[in-house]
Amino acid sequence: MLRSFLIYLSKAAWAQRMVTQWKFAWRAASRFVAGETIEDALRVVRELNAKGINVTLDHLGEHTTSPEEAAQATADILEILDRLGQDGFRSNVSIKLTQIGLALDEELCAENLERILARARERKNFVRIDMEDSPYVDQTFALYRRMRDKGYENVGLVVQAYLYRSEEDTRALLAEGARFRLVKGAYKEPPELAYPKKADVNANYDLLAKILIDAAVEAGAPTISADGRIPPIPAIATHDEARIDFARQYARKVGLPNDALEFQMLYGIRRDLQERLAGEGYPVRVYVPYGTHWYPYFMRRLAERPANLWFFLSNLFRG
Ligand SMILES: Cc1cc2nc3c(=O)[nH]c(=O)nc-3n(C[C@H](O)[C@H](O)[C@H](O)COP(=O)(O)OP(=O)(O)OC[C@H]3O[C@@H](n4cnc5c(N)ncnc54)[C@H](O)[C@@H]3O)c2cc1C
């Protein structure tokens, strides 16, 4: 109930107008967001890199409402790729297709995506396409395949364990050489499309982790690149220790080396676990969002964990 309501609020323009005016809301959001500027983001990348942790940078934004906004979002992503390239940061980038125009016009989005992938290739970097809610899944896979057909290899996908369709999608795309970030799924989906029960999502998560690990072994266990930017085939993105332990144990059983299995977590969540896994020799990548469009991202983080609501409200009382 509460999760659904918070996800509804994450999309409600009236709520966004109200909440983003509250100073304490930004104070609470800044636990999960590196800051509003690219300099804030790069400072966090530097700090994490110094601890042996890699990064994927996300310039916050989704559902742009005009071609001009989509063009601006694209230009911002090109700037990140340039900045990451100049200083040898161990970071790639994550993008959302609705940020670069998918909800407006698929062709416009394809042009923007190709410009981003071309620049990433020039800068020897990698772009992960985040997965959004179910109306965009087919288009996301179609655009990914179009770019692969044009020869762009420096691009990866996300698969959501809560969707019934994910096993079939994962098997088909792995056969085409895809690299995946595996997540549980952050949106509100109907029971016709997604497992309503957490236990079923977890079971499907473990199944998909197995499929990804098997595919990595079969492909000769490609490891993370030496510069930390190009991830291995499986990236296990969760803060759920039971899921992490399952993936680790299964990888050990089938002989996948540690540096061919990446773990990913969100900025501001389970730093202890991030550092522990990095200490054990696994590549760990933290998803670092920054920018002024933090509202929907922040609301999804509240929806994931009701206890975060108290943290949010405690910021109100701190004045
Ligand atoms: C690197 C990364 C990239 C992602 N990309 C996408 C994407 O492209 N598309 C998509 O739909 N989803 C994405 N997600 C979000 C994902 O779908 C989940 O909503 C999110 O990770 C929470 O689920 P969990 O796997 O951590 O498990 P859960 O079972 O929700 O949580 C397990 C434990 O982790 C901790 N935890 C989880 N969430 C929070 C939180 N918000 N605040 C504090 N503690 C928390 C708690 O201790 C909790 O008990 C991404 C997640 C990560 C880590």
User: Which one, of 137, 128, 126, 72, lies nearest residue 99 by Cα?
Assistant: 72
Distance 108 CA to ligand 1 centre (A): 30
Q: Which residues contact 155 (CB under 8 A, 6 or more apart)?
A: 117, 120, 126, 127, 128, 129, 144, 147, 148
Gap between the Cα atoms of 127 and 86, Å rounded: 17
In this structure, how many other beta carbons lie within 10 angstroms of the beta carbon of residue 35? 18
Beta-carbon-side half-sphere exposure of residue 64 (alpha carbons within 13 Å): 26
Between the CA of 109 and the centroid of ligand 1 the distance, in Å, is: 27
pLDDT per residue as tens digits for the range 193-245: 999 999 999 999 999 999 999 999 999 999 999 999 999 999 999 999 999 99
Instruction: Sort 114 into a burial class: Cβ within 10 Å, 0-12 / 13-18 / 19+.
Output: middle
Ligand 1 nearest atom to the CA of residue 266, by list position: 53
Which of 97, 159, 160, 240 to probe ligand 1 with, by most ligand atoms within 8 A of CB? 240
Tens-place pLDDT, residues 13-30: 898 888 888 888 888 899
Q: Domains in the chain, ordered, with CATH?
A: 1-32+295-313 (no CATH), 53-293 (3.20.20.220)
Instruction: Pick the residue whose CA is nearest to atom 27 on ligand 1.
Output: 240
Question: Which residues are paired to 180 by β-bridges?
Answer: 157, 234
Ligand 1 atom closest to the CA of 287, numbered from 1:
1
Please list the active-site residues: 130, 181
- What's the rounded Cα separation, in Å, for the pair 200 and 5? 22
Residue with CA closest to ligand 1 atom 5: 130
Which secondary structure element, helix H or strand E, spans residue 263, and what is its range? strand 262-266
CA neighbor of 268 nearest in space, from 28, 21, 91, 37:
28
Quick: pLDDT tens for 35-90.
Answer: 999 999 999 999 999 999 999 999 998 889 999 999 999 999 999 999 999 888 99
Q: How many beta carbons lie within 10 A of that of residue 25, not counting itself?
A: 18
Strand partners, 62: none
Predicted TM-score (pTM) of this structure: 0.95
